[in-house]
């Protein structure tokens, strides 16, 4: 289901989300919880950018974050927390991010997670015209 990211250039984003459901089911059937988690997160992020209901997205991201933490997939957990923060800001909840010490270490050392963090920060700043 990772190749679904390419399909979004051919099909509407909403139409590609079903592939992540299929990917999740196939990963769970084969016992690959890591790929199942990736499909869950890509589905959540795709749904967010496709314009799904924000309250529902906040709950879905909370479930994905919990699942990531249970599986000790901290990189994915941090990236999901960052998008969930964007969702919360758009809802008006204004919840602040609280990272664990492990999360802060990852943010300090993992360039992929840092890039995602800055992207989400820029996205929220753009949406609210709050450039600081």
Question: What confidence tens digit (pLDDT) does each residue in 48-96 have?
Answer: 888 889 999 999 999 999 999 998 888 888 888 888 888 888 888 866 7
* DSSP H stretches of helix in 8-110: 13-30, 33-49, 54-70, 74-91, 101-109
Question: What pLDDT, on a 0 to 100 scale, did the predictor assign at position 29?
Answer: 95
Instruction: Collect contacts of 68-72 with beta carbons under 8 A, ≥24 apart.
Output: 68/37, 68/41, 71/33, 71/34, 71/37
Question: What pLDDT, on a 0 to 100 scale, did the predictor assign at position 132?
Answer: 58
State whether the Cα torsion 119-88-47-61 is positive or negative: positive
Tell whether the model's pLDDT for residue 45 goes beyond 80. Answer: yes
Which residues are CB-contacts of 41 (< 8 A; sequence separation ≥ 6)? 64, 68, 76, 79, 80
Of the chain, the percentage scoring pLDDT greater than 70 comes to 89
The whole-angstrom separation of Cα 115 and Cα 77 is 15
User: pTM for this structure?
Assistant: 0.78
Tell whether the model's pLDDT for residue 16 goes beyond 90. Answer: no
Question: What pLDDT, on a 0 to 100 scale, did the predictor assign at position 64?
Answer: 92
């Amino acid at each position: 289901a990772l190749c679904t990211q390419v399909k979004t250039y051919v099909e509407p984003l909403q139409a590609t989300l079903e592939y992540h459901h299929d990917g999740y089911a196939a990963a769970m059937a084969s016992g690959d919880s890591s790929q199942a988690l990736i499909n869950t997160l890509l589905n959540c992020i795709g749904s967010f950018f496709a314009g799904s209901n924000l309250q529902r997205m906040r709950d879905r991201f909370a479930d994905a974050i919990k699942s990531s933490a249970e599986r000790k997939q901290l990189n994915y957990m941090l990236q999901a927390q960052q998008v969930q923060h964007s969702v919360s800001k758009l809802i008006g909840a204004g919840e602040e991010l609280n990272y664990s010490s492990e999360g802060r270490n990852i943010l300090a050392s993992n360039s992929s997670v840092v890039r995602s963090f800055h992207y989400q920060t820029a996205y929220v700043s753009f949406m609210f015209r709050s450039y600081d």
